[in-house]
């Protein structure tokens, strides 16, 4: 039994097939904006603790759609230094005052030992340089860009001895 499609049916079938291909392609595209973080439920990719304070959280998404979330900006920055995959990531942090997401490369960061972040990095992000300077005054902090933050942590990592490569003498 052979089934033949009329010209109209064949055209309709081609349109439906093209629509299905387009929908499938769109479904595999990463979404815009930061990966979703649900306070108290999302787990940090580094320490696996729940993210309880979005003001210190950070996240990234790779071009293939892989997402990672962190409870502390310092954890994600350290991850950025050690993971080559990070070079193609869309990176997000959250404004300390408004809790709104900001692309990390557009944020201004403060660093202070007086700022109690989840993993004690002491970093917080701000959407404007003015807000960062104001917060820096309040927290006795330094102000820096994302690039400067990464450079600072990379310099610290290169001068900190790896405990696996040291020996203890008695």
Q: What is the mean pLDDT of the chain?
A: 83
DSSP-assigned beta bridge partners for residue 110: 124, 143
Q: What does the block give as tokens for 126?
A: 């701000």
Strand intervals (E) in 104-156: 108-111, 123-126, 142-144
CB 61 within 8 A of CB 89: yes
Q: What 3-state DSSP class applies to 71?
A: coil
Percent of the chain at pLDDT above 90? 66
Report which secondary-structure segment, H or E, holds 150.
helix 146-159
CB 51 within 8 A of CB 44: yes
For residues 52-73, give the mean pLDDT: 95
Residue 18 lies in a domain: no
The most confident of the ranges 18-22, 53-57, 64-68 is 53-57
pLDDT confidence band for 31 (50 / 70 / 90): low
- pLDDT (0 to 100) of residue 5: 59
The tally of domains found in the chain comes to 1
Tens digits of per-residue pLDDT, 93-122? 999 999 999 999 999 999 999 999 999 999
- 7: pLDDT strictly greater than 80: no
Residue 37 lies in a domain: no
Residue 74 lies in a domain: yes
Q: Which domain holds residue 112?
A: 54-161
- pLDDT (0 to 100) of residue 76: 94
Residue 71 lies in a domain: yes
Q: What does the block give as tokens for 54?
A: 């979005």
Residue 46 lies in a domain: no
């Amino acid at each position: 039994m052979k089934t033949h499609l009329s010209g109209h049916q064949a055209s309709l079938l081609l349109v439906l097939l093209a629509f299905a291909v387009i929908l499938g392609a769109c479904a595999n595209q990463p979404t815009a904006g930061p990966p979703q973080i649900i306070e108290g439920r999302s787990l940090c990719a580094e320490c696996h603790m729940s993210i309880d304070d979005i003001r210190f959280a950070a996240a990234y998404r790779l071009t293939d759609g892989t997402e990672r979330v962190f409870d502390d900006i310092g954890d994600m920055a350290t991850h950025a230094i050690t993971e080559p995959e990070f070079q193609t990531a869309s990176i997000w942090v959250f404004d300390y005052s408004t809790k709104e997401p900001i692309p990390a490369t557009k944020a201004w960061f403060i660093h202070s030992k007086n700022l109690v972040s989840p993993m004690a990095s002491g970093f917080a992000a701000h959407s404007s340089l003015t807000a960062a300077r104001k917060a820096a005054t309040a927290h006795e902090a330094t102000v820096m860009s994302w690039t400067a933050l990464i450079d600072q942590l990379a310099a610290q990592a290169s001068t900190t001895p790896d405990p696996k490569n040291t020996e203890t003498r008695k």
